[in-house]
Amino acid sequence: MIETTNLTRKYGDLIALDNLNLQIEEGECYGFIGPNGAGKTTTIKILSTLLKPSWGEARVDGKVIGYQNPEIRPIIGYVPDFMGSYDDMIVREYLDFFATCYGLSGSQRHRAVGDVLELTELHYKANAQVAGLSRGMSQRLSIARVLLHDPKVLLLDEPASGLDPRARIEIRELLKELRRMGKTILISSHILHELAELCTSVGIIEQGKLLFTGKVDEILAKAKVGQVVQITVTEKSEDAAALLRQVDGIAIVDIVTENGVERIDVTMDSQSTLDSSELPNRLISRGFRITSMQAERINLETAFMRLTKGLVS
């Protein structure tokens, strides 16, 4: 549904997007993550036909950005990070105006406005002034606006930015419903734990380059290398540490004292395929008794920190 080939965007000497090769299948919810200035918004603006690439190619539903824009625009919905709105309108008028812009008329327009008000749970705000909406309500209205023409593809740039926890949950549940409806969704966000449960695939971009793209489980497995495992034994921590230092696949073994208790911190080699769950067996077989073992929790935030360096274009 979305495909880019060597997509590049330059601003003078600055390369904002560097040979981006991306493929998002129909019906996927794809999380696009990276530090500020990494190229996420540039990518989304190109895909939404608002920005021309310097070179390379981007396609949406098989149609080429820049050459078939009039055919692409009816099938996409673009939600920027901050919504521009006509503050002197009420919510229903605002949606009715955009439905007209999308070419809807008569009963079709009335039905579309009613449907998106129900879907985004804004029906009780239909007669409220747009200017008086909270940030969360404004984001819901922005999503409602781009759903009026029932697009196949949604391009969402930081839709949960600046929202309180309740509003973020509400937006997340709305996006889950849109995914169930079969929409293809590209979403950029800094709230990584929410992407992990919302998205089917993710891409990590830094300094305009795509570092990783794939299923969420794949990126977590990739980040697991180099993880730290904390082990506590009943006695002879030095001997247990010496034993672990001889195991292939372990990079560093340290003894750490915390609150008067000694523990062994084991850092797995980044090139090793050794599973940390094998470590207790090694120790127990040599007579050591383990009182606790805890592996570093690997989530999408951990993966992001490990696979990026914080560089920007």
SS3 of residue 171 by DSSP: helix
Going from the C-alpha of 91 to that of each of 82, 172, 204, 269, the distances in angstroms are: 17, 21, 36, 56
* Residue-level pLDDT at 8: 95
Structural tokens at position 243:
């034993």
Q: Decide: 28 and 215 in contact? Cβ < 8 Å.
A: no
CA dihedral defined by 283, 289, 292, 296, rounded to 10 degrees? -10
pLDDT band at 100 (very low <50, low <70, confident <90, very high): very high
Cβ neighbour number for residue 108 with a 10 Å cutoff? 11
Is 90 exceeded by the pLDDT of residue 185? yes
pLDDT at 44: 95
The 3-state DSSP class for residue 250 equals strand
Question: Does domain 228-295 bear CATH number 3.30.70.100?
Answer: yes
Give the single-character DSSP code of 234.
S
Q: Which amino acid is at 69?
A: N
Q: Above 70 in pLDDT, residue 125?
A: yes
Distance CA 156, CA 140 (A): 12
**Model confidence over 24-71: pLDDT tens digits?**
999 999 999 888 888 999 999 999 999 999 999 999 999 999 989 999
Tell me the pairing of strands 184-188 and 153-157.
parallel
Joined tokens for residue 209 = 């380059």
> Which pLDDT score, from 0 to 100, does residue 30 have?
94
Q: What class does CATH assign to 2-215?
A: alpha beta
Summarised one tens digit per residue, pLDDT across range 63-72 is 999 989 999 9
User: Which helix (H) or strand (E) is 243 found in, with range?
Assistant: helix 237-245
Task: Give the phi and the psi of residue 206 in degrees, each rounded to 5.
Answer: -145, 135
Burial class (CB in 10 A: 0-12, 13-18, 19+), 147: buried
Q: Tell me the per-residue pLDDT of 237-283, one tens digit each, with 9 for 90 and over.
A: 999 999 999 888 888 888 988 888 889 988 877 666 777 778 888 89
d(CA 240, CA 35): 40
Measured CA to CA, the distance from residue 147 to residue 76 in angstroms comes to 9
pLDDT level of residue 297 (50, 70, 90 thresholds): low
DSSP 54-76: SEEEEEETTEETTTSHHHHGGGE
Give domain limits for the chain: 2-215, 228-295
What confidence score (pLDDT) does residue 270 get? 62
How far apart are alpha carbons 220 and 303 in whole angstroms? 6
List pLDDT tens digits, range 188-244: 876 676 677 788 888 888 888 998 888 877 776 666 555 678 899 989 999 999 999
Strand partners, 262: 257
| Mean pLDDT along residues 92-119 | 93
Q: Which amino acid is at 271?
A: Q
